[in-house]
Chain A
Amino acid sequence: MDIFRAATTGTLTAETPAYPMPRASGCPLDPPPALRELLNHAPITRVRIWDGTSPWLITRFEDQRTLLADPRISADSTNPNYPSESATLAATNQFPATVTPDGEIKPAEPIAFITMDDPEHARQRRMISGAFAIKRVQAMRPAIQKIVDDLIDTMLSGPKPVDLVQAFALPVPSLVICELLGVPYEDHHFFQVRSSLLPKRTTPAELAVQTLLELDDYLSHLIARKRTEPADDLLTALAERVATGELSQLQATNMGLMLLFGGHETTANMIALGTMALLQHPEQMARVRETEDAKLIASTVEELLRYLTIPQIGRRRVALEDIAIGGVTIRAGESVICPLDIGNRDPEIFPNPDQLDIDRNPRKHIAFGFGVHQCLGQPLARLELEIVYSTLYRRIPTLRLATDIEQIPFKNGAVVYGVDELPITW
């Protein structure tokens, strides 16, 4: 217990736990057990991260929600105190630096509005938020259903076993976001390879910056082309903002990149990991497969979002003023991490939190984050997952893993959790 007492007073000791923590072997769908310990014994505590700094780690659901919605908390990744996720992301957070005429090197503005504060964050977010309004997204249902049906047809007519990630989980969101943005899908190999490198902690910083440069170059050319060949898509909308001077070319490019990343890594992982989770709960899988009830499907989506909470490295923030919370004062300038995965397993909010229960409909979960930065694409993610979960198992009722679960490679070193491949057969 001494370790926990030291932790809650903010004193740094040799026992200050390192974050992120490893998951337990044999429990790939549960958050690291050390996070559960902290939630039980030291819900606001200091941890040590890769760069030697000691952010506060907030593990209770209500504390996370309170802090993430607090206007005194900053998401600005160019703040010197920002607790970067890794050396890789620290390098890209400061990119591209600009050199003033006096030779002073100034870090660039954050890559995208997800790591900016208001009012600039709100200004940029509102330029594209109309495209993700519920009704606009719902109108995409027939097009997404067709994408899903076609990919399943192709899978069923091909050899088995097949890797669900490459054959289905990745192409679904990738096709959808390409359509929405106006990115030619034939280029998907180029940006999928590159965008999968960036969120990996194992990617060397130099390679990450190089990768980002290549992606920036690709997207900025595409946006420039939309000026002469406009279409009904989001990149054209961004190109128009550049023309009016509301966005710089770089801001437009970065926004496009954020949408491209956000649009497929996340949903793809939810499709593959969600399928794995349901395969481990065959009774619930059978109900999802057989139901005609749209509400049960919606509840399944919410529960899998809660249960899996794939953003696995925590929301990162810096306090701009002293903030009193849970008996602790977080001082101005101190950094904060909210690991959403353990917040969504808080038994005070979700009874029997480690149990998957598709009847739970846990709409309150924070898998999309909370506060002004809550995921903009969530209506699209929900729709894609509803269509996938209600179609895939019905069309392939005997779907099962083609390997032992021990053989499946999990994305333990990535910003977003998932599986690298999921061999399935039927």
Chain B
Amino acid sequence: MKIVIETEKCVAAGQCVLSAPDVFDQYEEDGTVILLTEHPSSELTDDVEEAAALCPGRAIRLEK
């Protein structure tokens, strides 16, 4: 799985950090998303899929 972020769509709601804190973080300045790893390990798949589904700005895209 590869994670692609469209930062300009991020609304800093923090949903991704709540779902997958090992994969996503936020910039202190404006709370927008920081991708910690493009290719998360397989045990994080569920968390990452939840993060993508919950993202209110639809800023997280998953490529298989």
| Chain B hits for A374, CB < 8 A | 11, 13, 15, 56
A126, CB-defined interface residue at 8 Å: yes
| Chain B hits for A369, CB < 8 A | 56
Task: Please pick, from A127, A129, A133, the residue contacting B11 in the complex, using a CB distance under 8 A.
Answer: A129
A107, CB-defined interface residue at 8 Å: no
| Chain A hits for B14, CB < 8 A | 132-134, 137, 378-379
Task: Please pick, from A69, A130, A382, the residue contacting B30 in the complex, using a CB distance under 8 A.
Answer: A130
| Chain A hits for B4, CB < 8 A | none
Cα A100 to Cα B33 in complex, Å, equals 41
B30 CB, nearest partner CB in chain A, Å: 4
- Does A136 lie within 8 Å of B28, measured CB to CB? yes
Give the nearest-CB partner of B12 in chain A: A129
Task: Please pick, from A122, A133, A368, A372, the residue contacting B31 in the complex, using a CB distance under 8 A.
Answer: A133
Q: Quick one: given A363-B50, A375-B13, A376-B13, are A133 and B28 in contact (CB under 8 Å)?
A: yes
A371, CB-defined interface residue at 8 Å: yes
- Does B31 lie within 8 Å of A370, measured CB to CB? no
- Does B28 lie within 8 Å of A130, measured CB to CB? yes
B53, CB-defined interface residue at 8 Å: yes
Q: Quick one: given A126-B32, A363-B54, A364-B53, are A378 and B13 in contact (CB under 8 Å)?
A: yes
- Does A129 lie within 8 Å of B56, measured CB to CB? no
- Does A133 lie within 8 Å of B12, measured CB to CB? yes
A23, CB-defined interface residue at 8 Å: no
Size of B's binding interface in residues, CB under 8 A: 24
A387 CB, nearest partner CB in chain B, Å: 16
Interface residues of A in 90-137 (CB under 8 A from B): 122, 125-127, 129-137
| Chain B hits for A370, CB < 8 A | 56
| Chain A hits for B31, CB < 8 A | 126, 129-133, 136
Cα A122 to Cα B9 in complex, Å, equals 9
| Chain A hits for B28, CB < 8 A | 130, 133, 136
Cα A376 to Cα B57 in complex, Å, equals 12
Cα A69 to Cα B25 in complex, Å, equals 22
- Does B12 lie within 8 Å of A372, measured CB to CB? no
Cα A341 to Cα B31 in complex, Å, equals 28
Give the nearest-CB partner of B59 in chain A: A372
- Does A371 lie within 8 Å of B12, measured CB to CB? no
B17, CB-defined interface residue at 8 Å: yes
B22 CB, nearest partner CB in chain A, Å: 13
A380 CB, nearest partner CB in chain B, Å: 10
Q: Quick one: given A126-B32, A134-B18, are A364 and B54 in contact (CB under 8 Å)?
A: yes
Selected A-B contacts with CB under 8 Å, 28 pairs = A69-B57, A122-B11, A126-B12, A126-B31, A129-B31, A130-B12, A130-B26, A131-B31, A132-B14, A132-B31, A133-B12, A133-B14, A133-B26, A134-B18, A134-B26, A135-B17, A135-B25, A135-B26, A136-B28, A137-B14, A363-B19, A363-B50, A368-B13, A372-B11, A374-B13, A374-B56, A376-B13, A379-B18
In the complex, besides A132-B12, A134-B14, A372-B9, 7 extra interface pairs with C-beta distance below 8 angstroms are: A125-B11, A126-B12, A133-B27, A134-B17, A363-B19, A371-B56, A374-B15
**Which A-B residue pairs are the 9 nearest by beta carbons?**
A374-B56, A129-B12, A129-B31, A133-B31, A133-B26, A126-B30, A134-B17, A134-B14, A130-B31
Which B positions have Cβ atoms within 8 angstroms of A? Answer: 9, 11-15, 17-19, 21, 25-32, 50, 53-54, 56-58
Which A positions have Cβ atoms within 8 angstroms of B? Answer: 69, 122, 125-127, 129-137, 363-364, 368-376, 378-379, 382
